[in-house]
């Protein structure tokens, strides 16, 4: 009897040890492996509203470095290299450059400007600000040859006189968005294929209230939930991304794509959710 109890005790101890080792391994992976490297999520966007001259055009949307030091600078360097390898026509930065409360040193600031300036886009580089992005970030954007498209629209042309319309919308959480101003152009050009980019996905609920909507929407901020547990889903939801945090939605004839970005929130971890940015190829279904 005593020997049998000893065996049961040993099995219990071994089971506890295995569970502890497993938890530690998962933690170490999420902390150090899950937060490294850069993945590219590629999508094909097809529509009969896309002008024929934009067939094959390439767009990159990236966001959410949440810069806080050395690891962030390495992530920026890696991601910029991958973006340039894709030879995009349009590059969109969706904000979230800096972590809450972090202040750039001159060295930090110059490094980001240097890397962002390397990004090459045939038709232009555009940006919006996240809710933690401050005057320092605005200076970096302006010094890196990005156009800050704050509640504004810009016509983008490619080898023809038929443009697509690009709209940058301010932060939902910060309350700096102005949809009426952003979509004012629709009253004179209602048929233009419209791409909107912003920081937080939850502004989509506001879009559903207006009569003129974009065709394609890009947002970030969600960090993909940081930790994705199989059969459960995202563990964390950020303010501004409580309702729209998954990769893709189709709502009210809008195609919506959410980037999980590069950085981490308070957990400092990523699991089943490597740092990434989104890459889009446009396919025109316009009749010949």
Are 2 and 95 within one domain?
A: no
What pLDDT score was predicted for residue 2?
A: 59
What pLDDT score was predicted for residue 286?
A: 73
Are 27 and 147 within one domain?
A: no
What pLDDT score was predicted for residue 15?
A: 75
Are 158 and 175 within one domain?
A: yes
DSSP 75: H
Q: Provide the domain count of the chain.
A: 2
**Domain region containing 148:** 38-284
Bridge partners (DSSP) of residue 44 are 281
Are 69 and 188 within one domain?
A: yes
Are 97 and 197 within one domain?
A: yes
Are 4 and 89 within one domain?
A: no
Bridge partners (DSSP) of residue 90 are 59, 124
Q: Which two tokens stand for residue 257?
A: 């794509």
- The enclosing domain of 127 has a CATH number of 3.60.21.10
Are 90 and 7 within one domain?
A: no
What pLDDT score was predicted for residue 272?
A: 84
Burial class (CB in 10 A: 0-12, 13-18, 19+), 114: middle
With vertex at residue 215, the alpha carbon angle to CA 79 and CA 44, rounded to the nearest 5 degrees, is 50
Are 91 and 6 within one domain?
A: no
Count of CB atoms within 10 A of residue 189's CB? 12
What pLDDT score was predicted for residue 265?
A: 85
What pLDDT score was predicted for residue 143?
A: 97
Are 20 and 114 within one domain?
A: no
Are 241 and 166 within one domain?
A: yes
Are 128 and 222 within one domain?
A: yes
pLDDT tens digits, one per residue of 32-70? 766 778 999 999 999 999 999 999 999 999 999 999 876
The DSSP annotation for 259-279 comes to ---S---TT---BS---EEEE
Q: Which two tokens stand for residue 267?
A: 């957990």
What pLDDT score was predicted for residue 232?
A: 81
* Distance from C-alpha of 128 to C-alpha of 148, rounded to nearest angstrom: 6
Torsion of CA 52, 277, 227, 16, to 10 degrees: 120
What pLDDT score was predicted for residue 4?
A: 63
Query: Mind listing the pLDDT tens digit of every residue in the chain (288 residues)?
Result: 556 666 666 667 767 777 777 677 766 656 776 677 899 999 999 999 999 999 999 999 999 999 987 668 899 999 999 999 999 999 999 999 999 888 889 999 999 999 999 999 999 999 999 999 999 999 999 999 999 999 999 999 998 889 999 999 999 999 999 999 899 998 778 899 999 999 999 999 999 888 889 999 999 999 999 888 888 888 888 999 999 999 999 999 999 999 999 989 877 878 889 999 999 999 998 765
Supply the angle between the helices 106-118 and 135-143 in degrees, to the nearest 10: 40
Largest CA distance in the chain: 89
Q: What does the chain come to in residues?
A: 288
What pLDDT score was predicted for residue 12?
A: 73
199 — phi, psi (to 5°)?
Answer: -95, -55
Are 126 and 247 within one domain?
A: yes
């Amino acid at each position: 009897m005593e020997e049998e109890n000893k065996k049961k005790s040993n099995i219990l101890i071994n089971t506890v040890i295995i569970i502890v080792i497993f938890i530690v391994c998962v933690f170490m992976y999420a902390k150090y492996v899950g937060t490294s490297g850069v993945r590219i999520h590629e999508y094909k966007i097809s529509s009969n509203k896309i002008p024929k001259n934009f067939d094959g055009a390439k767009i990159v949307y990236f966001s959410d470095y949440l810069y806080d030091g050395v690891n962030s600078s390495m992530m920026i360097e890696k991601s910029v290299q991958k973006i340039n390898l894709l030879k995009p026509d349009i590059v969109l930065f969706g904000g979230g450059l800096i972590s809450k409360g972090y202040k750039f040193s001159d060295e930090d600031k110059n490094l980001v400007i240097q890397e962002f300036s390397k990004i090459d886009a045939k038709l232009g580089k555009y940006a919006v600000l996240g809710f933690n992005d401050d005057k320092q970030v605005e200076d970096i954007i302006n010094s890196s040859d990005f156009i800050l498209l704050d509640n504004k629209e810009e016509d983008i042309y490619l080898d023809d006189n038929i443009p697509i319309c690009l709209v940058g919308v301010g932060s939902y959480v910060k309350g700096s968005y102005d949809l009426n101003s952003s979509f004012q152009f629709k009253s004179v050009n209602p048929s233009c294929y419209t791409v909107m980019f912003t920081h937080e996905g939850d502004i989509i609920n506001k879009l559903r209230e207006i009569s003129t909507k974009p065709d394609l929407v890009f947002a970030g901020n969600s960090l993909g939930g940081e930790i994705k547990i199989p059969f459960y889903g995202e563990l964390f939801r950020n303010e501004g991304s409580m309702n729209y945090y998954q990769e893709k939605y189709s709502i009210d004839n809008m195609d919506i794509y959410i980037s999980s970005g590069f950085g981490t929130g308070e957990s400092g971890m990523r699991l089943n959710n490597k740092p990434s940015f989104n890459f889009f190829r446009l396919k025109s279904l316009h009749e010949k």
